[in-house]
Amino acid sequence: MSLNNLAEVYREQGRYAEAEDSYKRALAIAEKAFGPVDERVAQVLTNLAVINVIQGRPADAEPLAQRALTIWERAVGPDHPKVADTLLAIASILEERGRFRDAEPLYRRALSIEEKPSVQTIPM
């Protein structure tokens, strides 16, 4: 995850090619270390999707974000805020690609998740 964090620094600095390379390396490492359906893999996939959008490649971003969504839904359930965040990312990608009808239900689903009261667990 340190490599993912380094990529975040590169992204913030506008060093997009370096960020993308670092995200790709982080993804390979996370998949090997934690398996292909781990939450840490989903986070790196989401970040890699974002950098693709920033670089004007939303078509490349979409499958990455879709894969992250599948992982988040399995890992934390369909109504978790991480799922909502990923739905928003995918909807934004679709909107960027002019696929407004495809984006709308994702925005609506994300809104539905966000409107649900959050359940906080209190350590005992």
Domain boundaries, the chain: 2-115
pLDDT at 121 over 90: no
Give CA angle at 90 (51, 4), nearest 5°: 35
In the chain, DSSP assigns E strands to none
Q: What integer pLDDT is reported at residue 5 of this predicted model?
A: 93
The CATH classification number of 2-115 equals 1.25.40.10
Q: What integer pLDDT is reported at residue 117 of this predicted model?
A: 81
Query: Comparing C-alpha atoms, which of 44, 65, 42 is closest to residue 2?
Result: 44
Cβ-based neighbours of 15, under 8 Å, separated by 6 or more = none
Give the side-chain half-sphere CA count within 13 A for 80: 14
Mean pLDDT of the chain: 93
pLDDT at 10 over 50: yes
Q: What integer pLDDT is reported at residue 120 of this predicted model?
A: 45
Query: Comparing C-alpha atoms, which of 36, 49, 60 is closest to residue 88?
Result: 49
CA distances (Å), origin 92, targets 19, 27, 69, 104: 21, 22, 14, 10
Split at pLDDT 50, 70, 90, the class of 118 is low
